[in-house]
Structures are given as structure tokens and as C-alpha cells.
């Protein structure tokens, strides 16, 4: 298991958070096998892998039941372990090959409309907070990409752009819009130097009050504070999160006529299938407009 996790880290460049999730999933799988008296991966049967999946969905006294999406991720980790072991010659064959993970239901991303985004971005705040929110919506960056952003990743030439460092070590170049650029320039010139002086020096763009890199949790707090100020939900299933701005970025691009392949590149999705979830949002909106405006719609 440790060799497999090392492979995921070194060969595939998975993030620390993803590796931690895989480790938890595999630890639980190891517990299941140990309870069944199995101490060697070569002794595992397909039926035992299937039984583990059933337990994930049903739950146990030690572990609550997992949703289809969480169980699918857990089974993916288990299947990956068996596939790796077979490829490395540690076991004779991959017994998990025929075990299919549950298919999670497709959930449409929740996007804010343009008026809601405009009100959110207009909330008075520090130069840093304004720059952060404009950056998240203006580039569609993940929160990890925003807090990991370095000053050298910004290009304020005529064709302003930013280099984002995404999942799996992949980088992409994303255009920087006028509003995000203006907010960042104001912060870098007037706000960041004061914060830098309080710390030991860091290339990070977004800093905390001690001059160190802004944490993910602090970025969430900044967004929640602004959302609450304009009456947007900050709790419950529809709570505004940094990913909400990313969803809104993608949806508004598609609403404006952007090609799904272009949006895929801007978001840094490895597969266009992920991006196509946003087209479902756009189609729903088109249907809504048609239903309310066309004389023969109803």
C-alpha cells in the first residue's frame, strides 16, 4: 500500500489532500481484509472486494454509510491498488477488474447569476480581499491555486495573464480581465507591501496579517463575510464557496457563447466530460428563457 501511495505521489503527482483521502480509503480496506483474516493481497478474492463496496454503502458500527460519490472514490483507490500490484508483479492477477464502482448521480453546479456576483464583488473590503474575490471569479481558479499563487505567476503586459498551477502538476495560462487586473495591481502596490513587512518574505500574492501566505480557510472566511453582507447563503447545501465562483465563471463563459473546449482549458479540466456538466446548466437556462418568452412554448 505504501509503495502504491509513493507511486501516486511521485509518478502521478497527486496532491497532498488527494493522497490523504486515498490513504484513509486504503486503511479502511485493510481493516476489512484483516477482519476477514486476509493478510496478503494475493489472497484477496473478487467477492471480498465486492463485499467491501457493499459495506461502504451500507455502513458499519465503526463507519457511517458513504454516499455513492464517496464510495466510488474509495473503490477507485482499492481498484488502483490491485491494478498497481498486478502490474508490478506483486500478485498474479487483478481481482478487482470486474468490480464496478457505484455511479454517483450527476449534480449540476450551483452558479450565481451575474447580478449576484456583481453585488458580491462590490462589498467594501480591504485591497487584498477585493483582489482575491475578483481573482477567483475573473480566472475561475481553484482556491488552492489562488492561495498558492506567486507574484512571478502574474503578467501585467498588454495581454495580461496568470499562470495557474493546477492538479497533478499541470499548469495553464489564463487571461486576466480588466477588473481582476486593476484589483490586483492596487493590492500589490498599496496593500501587499505593508503585509510583507510583517513577515519573513514570501513570493505568495495573497498574504495574511502576519505576512505569511493566506490559508485556504482564511480565503473561505473572506468570501463568506462578503456573501453574508449581500444576503447570499453561507450555510446549507447552497452555501457560497470559492468553488461557487469557479462554477459561475464557467457558466457565464458558456452563456456568453464560449466553446466548451476553451472553457475546459481555462478551468484546467483533464477531461471535457467534467466541463460538460456546465453545459447542462446553460441548457436549463435556455429552456427557462424559451418557456417564459416564446408564444408557442406553452
Provide the annotated active-site residues.
142, 167, 243, 246, 269, 278
Cell of 275: 466541463
Instruction: Report the largest interatomic distance among the alpha carbons of the chain, rounded to a whole angstrom.
Output: 69
Question: Could you tell me if 242 and 143 are in contact, meaning their C-beta atoms sit under 8 angstroms apart?
Answer: yes
- The contacts of residue 241 (CB under 8 Å, 6+ apart) are 220, 223
Using alpha carbons, select from 143, 97, 127, 103 the residue that is nearest to residue 240: 143
Question: Please, which contacts does 57-62 make with residues 24 or more away whose CB atoms are closer than 8 Å?
Answer: 57/102, 62/31
| Cell matching residue 245 | 465562483
Q: Which three cell numbers stand for residue 99?
A: 468490480
Q: Are 246 and 136 in contact (CB under 8 A)?
A: yes
* Measured distance CA(50)–CA(52) in Å, rounded: 5
Cell (9 digits) for 117: 456576483
Distance, first Cα to last Cα, the chain: 59
Q: How many residues does the chain have?
A: 298
Contacts of 82 (CB under 8 A, 6+ apart): 41, 44, 49, 91, 94, 95, 96, 97
Q: Is 63 helix (H, G, I), strand (E, B) or coil?
A: coil
CA–CA separation, 90 and 222 (whole Å): 49
- Taking the C-alpha atoms of residue 187 and residue 130, their distance in angstroms, rounded to an integer, is 8
Amino acid at each position: 500500500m505504501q509503495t502504491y501511495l509513493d507511486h501516486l505521489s511521485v509518478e502521478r503527482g497527486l496532491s497532498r489532500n488527494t493522497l490523504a483521502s486515498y490513504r484513509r480509503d486504503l486503511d479502511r480496506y485493510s481493516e476489512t481484509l484483516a477482519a476477514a483474516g486476509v493478510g496478503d493481497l494475493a489472497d484477496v478474492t473478487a467477492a471480498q472486494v465486492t463485499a467491501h463496496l457493499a459495506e461502504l454503502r451500507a455502513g458499519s458500527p465503526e463507519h457511517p454509510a458513504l454516499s455513492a460519490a464517496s464510495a466510488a472514490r474509495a473503490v477507485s483507490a482499492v481498484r488502483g491498488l490491485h491494478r498497481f500490484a498486478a502490474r508490478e508483479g506483486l500478485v498474479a492477477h487483478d481481482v478487482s477488474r470486474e468490480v464496478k464502482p457505484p455511479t454517483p448521480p450527476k449534480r449540476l453546479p450551483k452558479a450565481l447569476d451575474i447580478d449576484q456576483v456583481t453585488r458580491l464583488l462590490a462589498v467594501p473590503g480591504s485591497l487584498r480581499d477585493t483582489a482575491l474575490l475578483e481573482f477567483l471569479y475573473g480566472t475561475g481558479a481553484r482556491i488552492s491555486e489562488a492561495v498558492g499563487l506567486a507574484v512571478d505567476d502574474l503578467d501585467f503586459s498588454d495581454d495580461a495573464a496568470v499562470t495557474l498551477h493546477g492538479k497533478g502538476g499541470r499548469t495553464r495560462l489564463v487571461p486576466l480581465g480588466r477588473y481582476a487586473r486593476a484589483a490586483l495591481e492596487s493590492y500589490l502596490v498599496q496593500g501587499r507591501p505593508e503585509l510583507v513587512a510583517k513577515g519573513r518574505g514570501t513570493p505568495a500574492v495573497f498574504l495574511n496579517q502576519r505576512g505569511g501566505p493566506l490559508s485556504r480557510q482564511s480565503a473561505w472566511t473572506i468570501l463568506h463575510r462578503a456573501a453574508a453582507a449581500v444576503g447570499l447563503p453561507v450555510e446549507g447545501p447552497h452555501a457560497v464557496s470559492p468553488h461557487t465562483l469557479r462554477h459561475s465563471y464557467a457558466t457565464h463563459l458558456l452563456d456568453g457563447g464560449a466553446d466548451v473546449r476553451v472553457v475546459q482549458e481555462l478551468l484546467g479540466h483533464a477531461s471535457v466530460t467534467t466541463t460538460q456538466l456546465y453545459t447542462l446548466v446553460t441548457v436549463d437556462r435556455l429552456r427557462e428563457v424559451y418557456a417564459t418568452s416564446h408564444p408557442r412554448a406553452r
